[in-house]
C-alpha cells in the first residue's frame, strides 16, 4: 500500500511526454480508458448485436418451424433454401449464439470494458500495470472475433456441436458438416481468445495488488474492484484448463491422437481411435465452464453493488459479508463443475458430492441478494436508468438462481437435464442478469467514458420493455422444460406429444422479437449520446469513488496533478455529521469522525 506512494512523483512527469498520433490514440492505444472503449464497441456492441440477432433467428425457427421466411432467406442465403432454415445451420446458430454471448460479449465485453475502465480509476492508478500487455490483450481479442465470424463463411458453415463442443460430435467432420473447417476456426479462435483473456486477467490482478493509491487498503476497495479482481483470479485458474482441452481436441482432430475418442463406427467404417473418453473432455470443459458462469456474473454483481449504493444514497449493506460471499462463490465455483455431468455416466457417488457443493453456493448467493434488498431499505432511491437495471438484475438473479436449486439436485436433474428448463434457468441467472449488469454499467459510467450523458427517458423506455420481455420470454419456458421438451431441437413437429407447447413457443418468440427491437432504442441512445449528449459534469451521480475525482476530459495518467489519497471506505453515503449525502473517498476524516462500519 505504502510502497506505491513514492512512485507518484515520477509518474507525474510521464504525463506530458507522449506525442499522440491517430494510430497510438485510437487504434494501438495503451491507455486503459481507450482500451475499455474498444472492448465496449467490439465486444458488447458489435458482438452483442450479432449474438442477439442469432437468438431471434433461433426463436423464429422454433415458433414457426420449417416455414418459409423471407428473413431467413435474406440473412442465411444458401443455408435457407427456399427460405426454410436448414437443420445444420440451426445447430450452428445455437452454437455460435452461445459462444458469442458467453465468451465474447459477457466475458471479454463485460470484464474488458469495465475492469479496464474502473480498476485504475477507482484505485487511483495512472494506468494498468502493463499498458502494452493490455493493448495486446485487446488485439488478440479482436483477432479471435474476426476468426469466429469468419467461420460463417467457410464452405460447410461454422461449428455446430453446441457451445460445449462435446466430442466426438465436434471431433469428427463426418458426424456433421460444422465439425470440419468451422470447428477448426472455432478452436483457433477460442485458443486466441483464452490467451487474450489471460493477459487481461493477469494485468488486472497485478494492478489491483500493486497500484492502489495511498490509503486504499484492500478493505477500502469498492465492491466493483473486489468483483473484477476475484473474477480475474477465477479466470487465471480455469481458462488454461479449457485451453488444454481445446489443444487436446485439436490433436484428436488433426493428428490422430485418442484423448477423447474410442470405439467409433461412423459412416460405414471403424475409426482407429481407442482408449480415450468423451467424459474426460466434459470434465475439462466444465472445469472452466462452471467458473465461467461466475466470470460472467461477478463483474455484473460488482457493478450492481456500486450502483445500488450510490443511487440509494446509502452504504452497501454488509460490505464485509459481500466480500466474503464473493470469495466463497469463487472458491466453490471451482468444485461444482460435475453438476453438468450427473447423467454423463460418471460414478453416481461423484454426483452426490457435486450436489452437495452445488447447493452450498446458494448460501453466499442468498446473502448477496438479501444484502442488496437491505441496501434499498430506508434509502433515498434515485431512479436513474443504471439503478433500474441494477434492481432488475437483482430480480432476475433471484428468479434464475432459485431454479438452480432444482438443477443442482442430482435426482431432479435426471428429468430436466438438457430441457428448456435449463435454458430458462441459465438465461435468467447469467444471461439476462449479466446483460443488465452491462447496461447498468454503460448508463452509469457513460459520462466517465464519453464525457456526455445518455438520455434518461430513452433509458427508462429501454429498461421497462426489456424487463417485461425478459420475463415474458424465460418464465413460461420453465414449464415447457418441465413438460420434458429437450432443447436444441430444430423442430418439435415429430413429437405430437409436445404439440401443446407450440402456442407458448409463439408467445415466447413474440416477446423475444419485441425485446430485440427495444435494443434499437438503446443503440440510438448510445450512439447519439456519444456525439450529441448533454455534456457531463465531473460527478453527475454524486458518487464517492475516485473515478469521479478525475477530470471529465480524458488524459493520459488520469489525474492532472498528484493522485488523490484515500481516507475512507467508498460507501459513506448519508453519513451523519456531514452536510452532503455523500463523502468522496479522498475527503479526509473530520476530527473525531468515526468509521461507522466494521
| By CB under 8 A, residue 323 contacts another protein | no
Considering the complex, what minimum distance in angstroms separates the CB of residue 401 from another protein?
A: 10
| Binding flag, residue 506, another protein (CB under 8 A) | no
3-state secondary structure 556-593: CCCCCCCCCCCCCCCCCECCCCCCCCECCCCCCCCCCC
Residues of this chain, 540-559, that bind another protein according to CB under 8 A: 540-541
Q: Figure out which of the listed residues 262, 334, 514, 593 binds another protein, where binding follows CB under 8 A.
A: 262
Q: Which of 168, 215, 437, 441 binds another protein (CB under 8 A)?
A: 168
Q: Is 597 in the site for another protein (CB under 8 A)?
A: yes
The residue (of 21 and 352) whose beta carbon lies closer to another protein is 352
Return the H-helix or E-strand segment holding 253: helix 223-255
Instruction: Please tell me whether residue 501 binds another protein under the rule CB under 8 A.
Output: yes
Q: How far apart are CA 160 and CA 90, in angstroms?
A: 8
From the list 107, 213, 395, 543, which residue makes contact with another protein (rule: CB under 8 A)? 395
Cα dihedral 264, 268, 269, 274 in deg (nearest 10): 10
Work out how close the CB of 274 gets to another protein at its nearest, in angstroms, rounded to a whole number: 8
266: which DSSP letter? E
Between CA 541 and CA 380 the distance in angstroms is 13
Out of 67, 219, 494, 538, the only residue in the binding site for another protein (CB under 8 A) is 494
Q: Name residue, grid cell 453416481.
A: 348
Query: Which of 106, 394, 442, 546 is close enough to bind another protein by CB under 8 A?
Result: 394
Q: How far is the CB of 347 from another protein (least distance, A)?
A: 9
Contact criterion met (CB below 8 Å) for 369 and 563 = no
374 near another protein, rule: CB under 8 A? yes
Q: Could you tell me the smallest distance in angstroms from the CB atom of residue 445 to another protein?
A: 14
Determine which residue in the list 335, 343, 513, 587 makes contact with another protein, applying CB under 8 A. Answer: 343
- Give the one residue of 206, 367, 465, 552 binding another protein; rule: CB under 8 A: 367
Q: Which of 454, 469, 508, 550 binds another protein (CB under 8 A)?
A: 454
Contact 490, 418 (CB under 8 A): no
Which residue in the set 206, 460, 514, 530 belongs to the binding site for another protein (CB under 8 A)? Answer: 460
CB 479 within 8 A of CB 504: yes
41-100 residues in contact with another protein (CB under 8 A) are 70-71, 73-75, 77, 87-88, 91
Of the candidate spans 133-141, 248-256, 331-339, 567-575, the one that interacts with another protein by CB under 8 A turns out to be 567-575
Candidates 150-158, 215-223, 332-340, 502-510: pick the segment binding another protein (CB under 8 A): 502-510
514 binds another protein, rule: CB under 8 A? no
Interface segment toward another protein; rule CB under 8 A; list 106-114, 331-339, 453-461, 546-554? 453-461
Q: Is 379 in the site for another protein (CB under 8 A)?
A: yes
Number of residues that bind another protein (CB under 8 A): 146
Q: Does 380 bind another protein (CB under 8 A)?
A: yes
112-142 residues labelled b (16+ CB within 10 A) or e (exposed): bbbbbbbbbbbbbbbbbbbbebbbbbbbbbb
Cell (9 digits) for 423? 435454458
Calculate ∠ Cα 55-61-62, nearest 5°: 90
* Among residues 46, 458, 513, 530, the one that binds another protein under rule CB under 8 A: 458
Task: Tell whether residue 152 is a contact of another protein (CB under 8 A).
Answer: no
539, 548 contact by CB (below 8 A): yes
Q: Which residues pair with 270 in a beta bridge?
A: 265
Q: How far apart are CA 245 and CA 493, in angstroms?
A: 36
Does residue 270 sit in helix, strand or coil? strand
d(CA 420, CA 424) in angstroms, rounded, equals 6
Please identify which residue in 198, 298, 398, 563 interacts with another protein, judged by CB under 8 A.
398
Residue 589 in the binding site for another protein (CB under 8 A): no
- Strand-pairing partners, residue 573, are 582
Least Å distance between CB 436 and another protein? 13
- String marking each residue 276-315 x if it binds another protein according to CB under 8 A: xxxx--------------------------------xxxx
Nearest residue to 464 via CA among 472, 475, 452: 472
In degrees, to the nearest 5, what angle opens at C-alpha 515 toward C-alphas 157 and 303?
95
Q: Which of 418, 530, 587, 593 binds another protein (CB under 8 A)?
A: 418
Q: What is the DSSP letter of 265?
A: E
CA distance 554 to 560: 10
Query: CB of residue 182 vs another protein: minimum separation in angstroms?
Result: 14
Amino acid at each position: 500500500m505504502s510502497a506505491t506512494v513514492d512512485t507518484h512523483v515520477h509518474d507525474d512527469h510521464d504525463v506530458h511526454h507522449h506525442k499522440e498520433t491517430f494510430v497510438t490514440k485510437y487504434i494501438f492505444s495503451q491507455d486503459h480508458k481507450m482500451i475499455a472503449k474498444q472492448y465496449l464497441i467490439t465486444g458488447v456492441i458489435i458482438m452483442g448485436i450479432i449474438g442477439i440477432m442469432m437468438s431471434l433467428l433461433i426463436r423464429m425457427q422454433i415458433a414457426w418451424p420449417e416455414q418459409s421466411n423471407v428473413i431467413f432467406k435474406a440473412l442465411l442465403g444458401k443455408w435457407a433454401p427456399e427460405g426454410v432454415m436448414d437443420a445444420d445451420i440451426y445447430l450452428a446458430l445455437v452454437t455460435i449464439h452461445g459462444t458469442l454471448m458467453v465468451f465474447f460479449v459477457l466475458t471479454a465485453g463485460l470484464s474488458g470494458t469495465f475492469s479496464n475502465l474502473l480498476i485504475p480509476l477507482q484505485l487511483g492508478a495512472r494506468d494498468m500495470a502493463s499498458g502494452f500487455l493490455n493493448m495486446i490483450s485487446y488485439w488478440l481479442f479482436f483477432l479471435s472475433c474476426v476468426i469466429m465470424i469468419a467461420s460463417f463463411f467457410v464452405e460447410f458453415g461454422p461449428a455446430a456441436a453446441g457451445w460445449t463442443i462435446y466430442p466426438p460430435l465436434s471431433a469428427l467432420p463426418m458426424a456433421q458438416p460444422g465439425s470440419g473447417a468451422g470447428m477448426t476456426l472455432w478452436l483457433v479462435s477460442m485458443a486466441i481468445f483464452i490467451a487474450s483473456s489471460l493477459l487481461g486477467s493477469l494485468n488486472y490482478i497485478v494492478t489491483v495488488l500493486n497500484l492502489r493509491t495511498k490509503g486504499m487498503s484492500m478493505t477500502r476497495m469498492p465492491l466493483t474492484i473486489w468483483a473484477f479482481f476475484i473474477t480475474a483470479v477465477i479466470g487465471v485458474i480455469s481458462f488454461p484448463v479449457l485451453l488444454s482441452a481445446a489443444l487436446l481436441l485439436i490433436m484428436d482432430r488433426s493428428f490422430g491422437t485418442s484423448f477423447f475418442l474410442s470405439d467409433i463406427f461412423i459412416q460405414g467404417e471403424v475409426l482407429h481411435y481407442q482408449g480415450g473418453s468423451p467424459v474426460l473432455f466434459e470434465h475439462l470443459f466444465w472445469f472452466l465452464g462452471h467458473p465461467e458462469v461466475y466470470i460472467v456474473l461477478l463483474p455484473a454483481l460488482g457493478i450492481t453493488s456500486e450502483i445500488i449504493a450510490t443511487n440509494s444514497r446509502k452504504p452497501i449493506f454488509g460490505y464485509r459479508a459481500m466480500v466474503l460471499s464473493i470469495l466463497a462463490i469463487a472458491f466453490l465455483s471451482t468444485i461444482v463443475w460435475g453438476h453438468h455431468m450427473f447423467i454423463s455416466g460418471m460414478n453416481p457417488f461423484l454426483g452426490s458430492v457435486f450436489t452437495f457443493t452445488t447447493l452450498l453456493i446458494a448460501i453466499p448467493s442468498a446473502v448477496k441478494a438479501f444484502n442488496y434488498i437491505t441496501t434499498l431499505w430506508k434509502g433515498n432511491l434515485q431512479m436513474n436508468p443504471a439503478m433500474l437495471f441494477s434492481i432488475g438484475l437483482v430480480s432476475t438473479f433471484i428468479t434464475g438462481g432459485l431454479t438452480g436449486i432444482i438443477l443442482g439436485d442430482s435426482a431432479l436433474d435426471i428429468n430436466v437435464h438438457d430441457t428448456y428448463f435449463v435454458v430458462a434457468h441459465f438465461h435468467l441467472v447469467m444471461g439476462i442478469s449479466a446483460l443488465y449488469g452491462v447496461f447498468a454499467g454503460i448508463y452509469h459510467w457513460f459520462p466517465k467514458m464519453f464525457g456526455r450523458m445518455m438520455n434518461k427517458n430513452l433509458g427508462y423506455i429501454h429498461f421497462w420493455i426489456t424487463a417485461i420481455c425478459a420475463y415474458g420470454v424465460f418464465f413460461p419456458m420453465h414449464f415447457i422444460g418441465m413438460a420434458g421438451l429437450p432443447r436444441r431441437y430444430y423442430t418439435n413437429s415429430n413429437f405430437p406429444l409436445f404439440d401443446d407447447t407450440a402456442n407458448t413457443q409463439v408467445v415466447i418468440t413474440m416477446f423475444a422479437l419485441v425485446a430485440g427491437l427495444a435494443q434499437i432504442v438503446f443503440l440510438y441512445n448510445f450512439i447519439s449520446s456519444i456525439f450529441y449528449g448533454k455534456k457531463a459534469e465531473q460527478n453527475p451521480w454524486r458518487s464517492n469513488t475516485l473515478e469521479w475525482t478525475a477530470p471529465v476530459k480524458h488524459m493520459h495518467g488520469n489525474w492532472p496533478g498528484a493522485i488523490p489519497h484515500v481516507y475512507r471506505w467508498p460507501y459513506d453515503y448519508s453519513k451523519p455529521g456531514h452536510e452532503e449525502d455523500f463523502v468522496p473517498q479522498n475527503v479526509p476524516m473530520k476530527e473525531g469522525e468515526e468509521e461507522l462500519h466494521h
